[in-house]
Structures are given as C-alpha cells and as structure tokens.
A and B are shown apart, each in its own frame.
Chain A
Amino acid sequence: EEIPLDEVLSIYMTETDTIILLDLPSTCMSEEAENAQATKESNILYIELCNNRLGNDKYVERAMQTFVGAAKHKKVQSEKIVMHDQGKIDTRSAVGSACSSWNPLTQAPSPPSGKYSTRSKMKLRKRRSSLFKMQGGDMSDEPELQVIFKSETFQRNLLIMERCLVANIFQPRLAAYRNLPEIKGSEEEEKEEEVEEEPDPSLELLWTFSCELTKGWNITCMAWNKQNTDLLAVGYGDFSPGRKGLICCWSIKNLSWPERLYHCHSGITALDFSSSNPDKLAVGMHDGTVAIFSVSDRESRTFLASSIDCRRRHVHPVWHVTWVRQEMSISEEDVVESVMSVSEDGHVLKWLLCSMLELRRIQDGIKKAEGNKTKREGILVSTATPGLCLDFHPSDPTIYLAGTSEGVIHKCSVSNHHHYLALYQKHLCPVNQVQWSPFSPDVFLSGSADWTVQLWKEGCLTPVMGFTSIQSPVLSARWSPLWPSVFAAIKSEQLEIWDLNASLLDPVIVEPAARGLNLTSMLFARGSNCILVGDSSGQVNFYRIQNLSVGPDKTVAPTSPLA
C-alpha cells in the first residue's frame, strides 16, 4: 500500500513503570528501624542457643549415606547442523545508489548519452522485471531473456561489446589511422630497423568498410559528420532510373557493420551533414528528391522531411547538396542553416527545414541563363545548363562556384538570382567537381571529364595551371585538409595524389583500382593523413598516405574551418 511520504506523522514517547527483575534485600538492618529491638532480641536468643548446644542431650551428631545408582551409557546421534556464514559489504556507492533510486523526487542519473537517447523509464522497467522474478518462482527463462533484450542498456552494451571486439582485431590499423603507437605483441621480437633513405611515397591500405548488405552497390558519395569525426555517411546508388538507393552511416569504431542503414526509393547522388545540427543529413537523390535524415534516432528508418510534395522541386538528379549558414540578423541565434542543391535541370535551389518537418523551398536560385537558345517551331526556348557541382567559399558564405556540364564554371552570389558574377571557361567537358582551397582564400580546383584538373585563381579567368595524367575523366578532385600543396584526383581506373611542391607534371602517388572495379568517389579523412576511396562494388577503402615529402612540420592550419 502506498504511504504518502509527504504527510507529517507525530510520534509520542512515554516512560513505562519501573520493571524490577531481581530484588535481593540486605541482611543488615539499621539500628533505627522499627523491628530493630525484636531483631536484637532474637539475635541474643540465637547466640544463647549456640552456646547451649555443646554437651546438650537435645542435639546429637549423626552421619548418613545415600545410594549411588548403577550408571548406564546411552548414545544419541543427530544430524549435523549446517552453519552458513553470510556477510555483506556495503560500500558508500551502493548505499548512495540505493538512496537515490528510492527517492521519487530525484531521478537516478541516467547513463551518459552520446549520440543515442536513452529513456529515463529504464530504471523503472528494471525494477519491475526483478519483481516479476520474485513473484513467479518457477518461471521459465524465455520471458526473462525477452525482458533483458528489450532494455535499452542491453542494446547499448551490445554496441560497446561489438566495438571492443572489432577494436581488438583491428588494433594496429586503427592505431595507424589515429597516429597512435601500435601495441606490439609479446611474441614478436624486436626487429632491427634498417635505416631507409627516402622511401617512395605510397598508400597503405588500412581497412575496408563493406558488409553483405552493401556488396555490389555502386558508391556515389561520402560525407563526414561535422561534429563526430568518426562517423561517415556513404551513399549508394545506381544511375539507372528505378533503382533503389542505400545510405549507410559507418563509424570508425565498428569496422564490420554500419551503425545506420536507410533504404531509399531512388539512387543517392549527394550527401552532406549539417554543422549546426550535427545529426541532420541532407540527401540528394537521382529522381530529384532532396531529403533530410536525422541519424541520432536509432529507430527511424526513413527521412524526416523531403521535397517530394513540393511544387517546384527538382525533377532531375540532384548532383550536390550543401548546408549553408545564413545569417538573418546580427545576433548569433538567428543563424539558420539551409540546404542548397544543384541539379541537372540547371537550378540552384535553397531549401529550409520548417518546424512542420517539411522541406520548403524559399528562394529561387540562379537559373544558368547561359544556356542554348534553341529554336523550336519558332518559339525561343532557353534551356538552362545542367549543374554538376557546387562549392561555397570557405570564409564568405554568399559566394559559390557552380560547375556545369558544358565545362563552364559560374561564380555566383546568393543574393543575385539572375546573373553570375564571373565565368571561368576552360574545360571542354562537364566539370565534375570544384573546390575552394582550404588554405588560400582565392584559389580553387576543378576536375572535369576532359581528363584534366585545373587550378584557378579567383581574379583570373583562365586557369593558372592544368594537370593531366592518363586519358580518363576526372570524377572528383579535392584538396588535402592537412597539406596546402597536395590534392587528390580520382579517375575510374586509379587514384592520383598530386603534390605541387614535388612535381607539376605527374602525380606523386598513383594507386590503381583493383581489377574489374571502378573507383567512383573519394574523400580525405579529417585529422588523419588518410584518404578514403569508394568503388563500384560497395567497398570504401581507407588508405594511409605514407612518406609524402611534406612532413608534419609543414602542415598549416587552414584559414577557415572546412565546410
């Protein structure tokens, strides 16, 4: 029954009567007592009696003897009384936790929640489950197992266990990734290190992200989480219409299974994590849908919001999505993040995630007016050129570059919807990637299907330098976040790493693809000298860049935080 603990109870304390357990009166008496005279007289009479005893006929001495019976031995046996020692050690912490779980006013401290939310009803559920056990004495084990399985902490513990397991197996690789010293096994003898002179720069394969679910899928894009640098989102999809897409969120802490898996109705073509809400992932798909997923929720299997119902959405594949911070006013709280997407229909659109969880398009982006004007039955139709890539300036969030399928790069501003600021023309084929340099604010790189990578400076309308290697379209070109003169380019047969300090004509490292596979996407790792390569069989390979002549003392902190 419930005892209301807030009620004030009165407790009365009284004294009982004196309880006498033993009363031994004294044999001495005071001379002033009432019976003193009578006692004195009886004392005198007694002394006289004792004196008269000697030689008196009334008193005779006599001895007696008692019978001693025969002794009989008798044996008795009983069961041994089993003694148990029971002791309990109570520590400060056990008392503390018992007190804290008793008090209904303060909740027991919930376990530290990282990316995953735990419900505070967990403690209550556990208490109920242990009560359940006490009531049914001969309960079978199955329901108990179910109860345990359902508890949140079990899932979390499983997660931790799996990570420990994998970390044990892959310890040397993970240590190499994080630039930590490896733990050498005790059986290995100390090898004598031979001094090598200037070994060639090379790539060392550390590990691969792949599992049965992702086998055979073509990787199209990858993105790092802005806050948790161990989380990587990978988008899988085919470019044939009607094929489904897959998004996996992998964590470096568990190399064998992705943390999250989302199935989508259409192939994924672009991914980006938000920096102000690090659990929001913006996704661009092959059918033109822009969707936002929330990766912090374990249970959700689908997106938070998408542009499917929007009237003027993209209908062509979205090739790039980026989160952009837009300052609405001077104060910091009004910084709102919106998604910019560029698609094959030539529009750059800006989307805002409303509180009603729908993606609303708020501004019309630039229509690339530099399209062909075709005459069709006398009607002038201006088609916009398909846009393939987008990159915002690292320090000025209103300027961005857009690469088109005609080989022209537009420099545009967010505030000007109809005109571009500058036009960079050199490429003859679609520009697959543009990226501003994270170290120099006016330098950018562009990779195109015309086999070349061009280096541009902002004020100059022709490229400063061009790089070619084999005759194959450049699928992606990115700057290294650690070294200002290093960039990497990926073609479907090989990965190339260029170091502008070492050579302008040839890449410093060339890593060919495995036989039968095409490399499709590439990303640099953050905080580590590793590079990730995704290919057409669903594998993400992690390579560590070794022995590049730019040593760690030559790294420079980027001038602006990387988007």
Chain B
Amino acid sequence: MAEVEETLQRIEAHGSVAGTIVANADGIPIRSTFDSSKAGKYADVLRHLTAMARSTVRDVDPQDDLIVLRISTKNQEIMVAPENSYLLILVQRFERYARA
C-alpha cells in the first residue's frame, strides 16, 4: 500500500510529468495533480476512448487485451491504463528526445 503510494509519488516527481489522474469507473477523478476541472475533462474524454480502443483490440482477437493506450500529440504524451473499475492517466510533457 505504501509502496504504491511511493511509486505514484516517484512518477509524479519526474521532471517531465505534467500530471497524473486516478479516476473511478464513472470518469470522476479521485486523485489528481491537475485542478479538478481539467482532471474531470481528461477523465471524461478518455473514458470513452479507452473503452473503444479496448473493444477494438478484443474484437480483432478475443484472447488479446489492451494494456496501455498512448496518445502522442504535438505538445505532450497521454498514457492511459484501462481497467474495469478505474482509470489511470499520466500526462507527460517534454522537449522531444532531449539529450542530457
């Protein structure tokens, strides 16, 4: 339990992470580092998209399942982990392919 909390904090502490959202099955964010309106928007919009992505994967091959959905946009990358009872969203913003 504490380990999960620690892992989540470690992810959030990464320089390039814009924020994380944990939302329940109805698309209401329970824990988020964004402000609530933005988090609600992300959760709501991504809920349907991940359901559709998941059904696409399973329609093609019923034994398969969606693990992670990554949307790479111009400014950021949104990663969503779909489950039946919750939704885990991670938004990463960074200078693309920067070299240290």
Contacts and interface: CB of A to CB of B under 8 A. Distances in A.
A345 B25 CA distance: 62
Contacts of A162: 7, 10-11
A126 B62 contact: no
Contacts of B1: 146, 149-150
Q: Chain A: interface secondary structure?
A: helix
Given A157-B83, A161-B79, A168 B92 contact: yes
Contacts, number: 107
Interface of B: 1, 3-5, 7-8, 10-11, 14, 16-17, 22, 24-25, 30-31, 54-55, 58-59, 62-63, 65, 67-68, 70, 77, 79, 81, 83-86, 88, 90, 92, 94, 96-99
A91 B55 contact: yes
Interface string A149-169: 111011101111110110011
A330 B16 CA distance: 57
Contacts of B90: 161, 164-165
B65 A111 contact: yes
Contacts of B22: 145, 148
A158 B5 CA distance: 10
Contacts of B25: 130
A182 B99 CA distance: 12
A130 B85 CA distance: 7
A129 interface: yes
Contact of A165 (B17, B62, B86): B17
A161 B85 contact: no
Contact of B84 (A92, A126, A168, A185): A126
Contacts of B3: 155
Given A145-B30, A149-B1, A171-B97, A164 B70 contact: yes
A256 B10 CA distance: 10
Interface in A101-145: 109, 111, 126, 129-130, 133, 141, 144-145
Interface residues of A, number: 43
Interface in A72-109: 91-94, 96-97, 109
Contacts of B10: 162, 256-257
B86 A154 contact: yes
A197 to B, nearest CB: 26
B11 A158 contact: yes
Given A91-B58, A129-B85, A154 B96 contact: no
Q: When A and B form their complex, which 10 residue pairs have the shortest distance between CB atoms, in order from nearest? A: A93-B58, A157-B81, A185-B96, A91-B55, A185-B97, A148-B86, A141-B30, A149-B4, A126-B85, A161-B90
Contacts of B54: 93
Nearest to A92: B59
Given A91-B55, A155-B4, A160-B81, A144 B97 contact: no
A9 interface: no
Nearest to B11: A162
Given A141-B30, A171-B97, A185-B96, 10 more contacts: A93-B54, A130-B84, A148-B30, A151-B85, A151-B86, A154-B4, A158-B11, A160-B67, A161-B11, A164-B68
Contact of B63 (A109, A130, A148, A172): A109
Given A165-B16, A168-B94, A93 B83 contact: no
Contacts of A160: 67-68, 81
Contacts of A150: 1, 4
A41 interface: no
Nearest to B57: A93
A349 B67 CA distance: 46
Interface string A182-207: 11111100000000000000000000
B11 A94 contact: no
22 contacts: A91-B55, A91-B58, A93-B62, A111-B65, A129-B85, A141-B31, A144-B30, A146-B1, A148-B22, A150-B1, A151-B86, A155-B7, A158-B11, A159-B7, A160-B67, A161-B81, A162-B7, A165-B11, A169-B98, A171-B97, A183-B97, A184-B97
B62 A158 contact: no
